[in-house]
A and B are shown apart, each in its own frame.
Chain A
Amino acid sequence: MEPLKNIIIPAIDIIGGKCVRLTKGDYNRIKEYSQSPISVAKQFEEEGAKFLHVIDLDGAKKGETVNLETILAIAKNTNLELQVGGGIRTFESAETLLNNGVAKVIIGTSALEDKRLLKRLITTFGENRIIVSIDVRKGKIATRGWLNESDMGLKVFLESVKEAGVKTIIVTDIEKDGMMNGPNFAMINEFSGNGLNVIVAGGVSSQKDIALLRKNNLAGIIIGKALYEGTVTIQEAQNDLARRIIPCMDMKDGRVVKGTCFKELKDAGDAVELGKLYSDMGADELVFLDISATLENRNTLCGLVEKIAKTINIPFTVGGGVRTVEDIRRLLNAGADKVSIGSAAVKNMDLVREASRTFGNQCIVISVDAKKAENGWKLYIKGGTEETNLEAIEFSRMMEECGAGELLVNSLDRDGTKKGFDIELLKKITDTVKIPVIASSGAGCLQDFLDVLDKAKVDAVLAAGVFHYGDIKIQELKNYLWENNINVNI
C-alpha cells in the first residue's frame, strides 16, 4: 500500500468504549457522540468513506492500548482501511493491531522516546504501515496524550523521523483541534515540501478549509468534529472533480466563424488546427457548434469531426442540426464524445429519451437557450430566433427527466455582450437539476468566470470570443481560478 494523495479520513476517538471528541486535546472537555464507535464507523463507510482514523484516547493517556476490542471490531465489521493510534509504545502492541486487520499504526510519543522501536517496526511491517504523529502546541511537540510538551523543535524532530525511515506523518495543531475555526495553514506550509507525506488534522471545519487544504498537495485530511456537528459531510469533502474550461467554436460550412487572433495559426478558420491549439493550451474540453447545420453540410461536419478526433486528446462535443438518433450515431461514430441537441429536443422529447437509452446519458448534452421574460426565462429555439411557450427552468427539469446527461445553458440577453454570465438564470437551473450544467454566454473578464463558478455553482464554463481573440488565455484563467480556490485541472 502506498500513501495516497488527498484522501479524506474521518476520525473516531474512543474513551471508555464510546465515540467522543475532545476540545484542544483536553480530557476535561469531552463531548460524547455515540455509545458505539462501530456503528459510527459503519455509518462513515455507508456515506462513502474508505479510510478511518481511530484514536484510543484512554490508551494515549495510559501508554498502552486500552480499547483494543472495540478497534478490532471496527476492523472486522467494516471494509474501512484503519489507521490506529493512542498508546502504541511497544512492538507487541503495534503487532497485535497490524496482524488483526488494522492497516496502519500511528506512533506518537514513542517515536520521540524510542527510535529503535520505530526502526524495528518499519523494518518488520514496511514504511507504509507506520505513521508518525506530530502534535504541535505553540510550535512545540506535545506528547503523552497531549499532556506534556517536549523541548524538541520541529525541524530537529522531522530530521530524526526521516532518518528512522518514516514516510508519512500526521500533523495536528492542538490549539486548533476541536475548535472548528479552521486549520493552521501557516504551520501546514512549514511541513509541506519536506519529502514526507503529510496528513493534516485539527480544526478542519468547512468545505472551504478542505478546498484550501487540497491546494497543499497533502497525503490526507483528517476530519473529526465537523463531521459529527454536520458542518461538513463525507460526500462533500470527498470531491476532487475539477471545474471545466471549455472553448467553443461556431462553425459554418466546415470553417470556424469569425477569424481568430492567434498568431500560431496559419489559417484562423481551420477548425482542426484551432482545436489542436486549444487542446495543447490546456482546454478541458472542446465544443463545436455547426451553425449552418443544413442537411448538405452534415457530411462536411462528420468529416471534420473525424479529422479533429484524430488530432486532439480531450473530449469534445458536437452540435448543430441534430434531429434524429441516426444523426447522433453518425457524429459519435465520427469521433464526437458527446452530442448537443437543441431545437429537436424541444419538438421531440422522445428523441432525448431514446438517445439517452441508446448511447448512455453521459454523451447527451441539451442546449438550453433562455431569454429573460417578465416571469422567469423563456425558452428559445433555432439559434435564438424563435420563441417557444416553454419556461427555460422547467424545460431544464424536463430534460433531466428525459435522460439528458448535461445542460449547456445560453443566455440570449448576455450572448456576445461580455457583461458576465447570467448568474441568476444559471443558479436557478443548478438549484433545480442534478446533472452537470455548462454556463455559456457573456464571459468578458476573469472575474466573470469566477463569479459564475462560485455563485451559480456551475460545473463548467464555456466561452468563444474571449478565447478566440486571445483576451483571456486558458492557462491564465485556470491559474486565476486556482488562486481563488476553485478546483481546476491545472
Chain B
Amino acid sequence: MIAIIDYNSGNVGSVKNAVERLGFECIVTANAKMILEAEKVIFPGQGRAGSSMEQMKATGLDKVIKSIKNPFLGICLGMQLLSDFSEEDSTKGLSVIEGSVERLDVDLKVPHIGWNKVSLRKIDPLMKGVQDGSFFYFAHSYYFKAKLQNEVAVTNYGRCFASVVHKDNFYGVQFHPEKSGSSGEQLLNNFLNL
C-alpha cells in the first residue's frame, strides 16, 4: 500500500489521482501506524512552512516521518520540510536532509510558476527514463539549498537550485510531478516501483 500523508494543509487529491492513474492503490492518511507500515510514502506539500510544521508537530507526524525506513517522496513544501530550517516563517525543519530553505531572492518574478527544465547531476533511480533537461511544473517562492552530495538534479531560475534531492530512503522534488505531464508520471512511476 502507498500512503499519502495528509496533514490538513492543502490539496493532496491531485497526488492521489496521479498515483491511481498509474495503477497503484493508495490511502490518504495521517495515521502513524499506516504511514509506518506503507511500502511507499508520499508527502505532498502546499501552503506555508510554519503552519504545516505546527500541524505536524501537533499530530506527532514529525517524529513519524523521521522514523520511516521505506522509500519516501516529499513534494514541493513536502521536500522543503525535510531540511534543517526554512526561512519561511523561520521554521525548524525535520532535519532529514541537510541544508536550509531560503527565499528565491532573484530579479525574476516570484513565485516561480510554470514549466522549467530539470537537469540531471547524477544517475538516480528516481530519474530513470526521464530525459535530461525535461520540463516539470513548479510553483514555489522558496528553494532548498542542499548539500552537493544530495543533489540529483538542478533547475535554473535566477539561481541554479536543487530541484531533486535524495538521501538514503528519502527523496524530494521541488516541482509537482503529479502536474508535470508524462515526465512527471515517469518519475512517480519510478518512485512507486522502487
Q: Is the CB of B133 within 8 A of A241?
A: no
Q: Pick the residue among A50, A81, A309, A362 that contacts B113 (CB under 8 A).
A: A362
What is the CB-to-nearest-CB distance from A332 to chain B, in angstroms, rounded to a whole number? 5
Knowing A6-B117, A238-B158, A238-B160 are in contact, say whether A360-B107 is a contact too (CB < 8 A). no
What is the CB-to-nearest-CB distance from B101 to chain A, in angstroms, rounded to a whole number? 14
Q: Pick the residue among A314, A436, A489 that contacts B111 (CB under 8 A).
A: A436
Q: B107 — nearest CB in chain A belongs to which residue? A: A235
Is A448 part of the contact surface with B, judged by Cβ < 8 Å?
Answer: no
Q: Is the CB of B133 within 8 A of A217?
A: yes
Q: What 0/1 readout, one digit per residue, does chain B (132-167) give for beta carbons within 8 Å of chain A?
A: 110101111100000010000011111110000000
Q: Is the CB of B185 within 8 A of A313?
A: yes
Q: What 0/1 readout, one digit per residue, does chain A (1-34) give for beta carbons within 8 Å of chain B?
A: 1101111100000000000000000000000000
Q: Is the CB of B115 within 8 A of A284?
A: yes
Is B48 part of the contact surface with A, judged by Cβ < 8 Å?
Answer: yes
Q: A236 — nearest CB in chain B belongs to which residue? A: B107
* B window 42-66: CB within 8 A of A: 46-48
Q: Is the CB of B158 within 8 A of A48?
A: yes
Q: Is the CB of A314 within 8 A of B107?
A: no
Q: How many residues of A contact B (CB 8 A)?
A: 53
What is the CB-to-nearest-CB distance from B60 to chain A, in angstroms, rounded to a whole number? 23
Is A467 part of the contact surface with B, judged by Cβ < 8 Å?
Answer: no
Q: A241 — nearest CB in chain B belongs to which residue? A: B116
Is A335 part of the contact surface with B, judged by Cβ < 8 Å?
Answer: yes
* B window 1-40: CB within 8 A of A: 10-11, 13-14, 17-18, 20-21
Is B128 part of the contact surface with A, judged by Cβ < 8 Å?
Answer: no
Q: Is the CB of A313 within 8 A of B116?
A: no
Is A90 part of the contact surface with B, judged by Cβ < 8 Å?
Answer: no
Bound complex: CA of A188 vs CA of B172, how far in Å?
36
* A window 343-382: CB within 8 A of B: 357-363
Q: Which residues of A contact B182 (CB under 8 A)?
A: 313
What is the CB-to-nearest-CB distance from A449 to chain B, in angstroms, rounded to a whole number? 16
Knowing A50-B160, A240-B155, A309-B14 are in contact, say whether A4-B46 is a contact too (CB < 8 A). no
Bound complex: CA of A243 vs CA of B114, how far in Å?
7
What is the CB-to-nearest-CB distance from B129 to chain A, in angstroms, rounded to a whole number? 15
Q: Is the CB of A313 within 8 A of B13?
A: no
What is the CB-to-nearest-CB distance from A327 to chain B, in angstroms, rounded to a whole number? 14
What is the CB-to-nearest-CB distance from B54 to chain A, in angstroms, rounded to a whole number? 14
Q: Which residues of B contact A334 (CB under 8 A)?
A: 13
Task: Name the segment of B67-75, B90-98, B119-127 touching the other chain.
Answer: B119-127
Q: Which residues of B contact A241 (CB under 8 A)?
A: 108, 112, 114-116, 138, 157
Q: Is the CB of B114 within 8 A of A5?
A: no
Q: Which residues of B contact A332 (CB under 8 A)?
A: 10-11
Among A50, A241, A358, A361, the most chain B Cβ lie within 10 Å of the Cβ of A241
Q: Which residues of A contact B137 (CB under 8 A)?
A: 314-315
Bound complex: CA of A309 vs CA of B154, how far in Å?
28
What is the CB-to-nearest-CB distance from B119 to chain A, in angstroms, rounded to a whole number? 4
Is B110 part of the contact surface with A, judged by Cβ < 8 Å?
Answer: yes
Q: What total count of A-B pairs have CB within 8 Å? A: 152
Is B184 part of the contact surface with A, judged by Cβ < 8 Å?
Answer: yes
Q: Is the CB of A244 within 8 A of B132?
A: no
Bound complex: CA of A49 vs CA of B159, how far in Å?
6
Q: How many residues of B contact A (CB 8 A)?
A: 52
Q: Which residues of B contact A406 (CB under 8 A)?
A: 113
Q: Which residues of A contact B117 (CB under 8 A)?
A: 5-6, 240
What is the CB-to-nearest-CB distance from B20 to chain A, in angstroms, rounded to a whole number? 8
Q: B122 — nearest CB in chain A belongs to which residue? A: A2
Q: B52 — nearest CB in chain A belongs to which residue? A: A360
What is the CB-to-nearest-CB distance from B125 to chain A, in angstroms, rounded to a whole number? 14
Knowing A360-B46, A362-B141 are in contact, say whether A315-B158 is a contact too (CB < 8 A). no
Q: Is the CB of B108 within 8 A of A239?
A: yes
Is B180 part of the contact surface with A, judged by Cβ < 8 Å?
Answer: yes
Q: Is the CB of B120 within 8 A of A4?
A: yes
Q: Is the CB of B122 within 8 A of A314?
A: no
Bound complex: CA of A6 vs CA of B156, how far in Å?
9
Bound complex: CA of A361 vs CA of B184, how far in Å?
23
What is the CB-to-nearest-CB distance from B187 to chain A, in angstroms, rounded to a whole number? 12
Q: Which residues of A contact B158 (CB under 8 A)?
A: 48, 235, 238-239
Q: Which residues of B contact A6 (CB under 8 A)?
A: 117, 119, 133, 156
Knowing A7-B160, A313-B179 are in contact, say whether A1-B17 is a contact too (CB < 8 A). no
Q: B117 — nearest CB in chain A belongs to which residue? A: A240
What is the CB-to-nearest-CB distance from A433 to chain B, in angstroms, rounded to a whole number? 8
Q: Is the CB of B115 within 8 A of A5?
A: no
Q: Which residues of A contact B181 (CB under 8 A)?
A: 279, 313-314
Q: Is the CB of A5 within 8 A of B46?
A: no
Among B138, B160, B181, the most chain A Cβ lie within 10 Å of the Cβ of B160
Bound complex: CA of A4 vs CA of B119, how far in Å?
6
Q: Is the CB of A48 within 8 A of B160?
A: yes
Q: Is the CB of B110 within 8 A of A434?
A: yes
Q: Is the CB of A315 within 8 A of B116?
A: no
Is A51 part of the contact surface with B, judged by Cβ < 8 Å?
Answer: yes
**Residues of chain B having any CB pair with chain A under 8 Å:** 10-11, 13-14, 17-18, 20-21, 46-48, 106-117, 119-123, 132-133, 135, 137-141, 148, 154-160, 176, 178-182, 184-185
Extra contacts besides A2-B120, A217-B133, A360-B46 (18): CB < 8 Å:
A2-B121, A5-B119, A7-B154, A48-B159, A235-B106, A239-B156, A239-B158, A241-B116, A310-B17, A314-B179, A315-B139, A335-B14, A337-B14, A360-B48, A361-B111, A405-B113, A435-B111, A489-B135
In the assembled complex, 27 residue pairs joining A and B whose CB atoms fall closer than 8 Å, in A order, are: A2-B122, A4-B120, A4-B121, A5-B132, A7-B119, A7-B154, A48-B106, A239-B108, A239-B157, A241-B116, A242-B135, A243-B114, A244-B114, A313-B21, A313-B178, A313-B181, A314-B179, A315-B139, A333-B13, A336-B11, A360-B46, A361-B111, A362-B140, A363-B46, A436-B109, A459-B113, A459-B114
7 smallest beta-carbon distances between A and B, as pairs: A48-B159, A50-B160, A5-B133, A362-B139, A489-B135, A489-B115, A238-B156
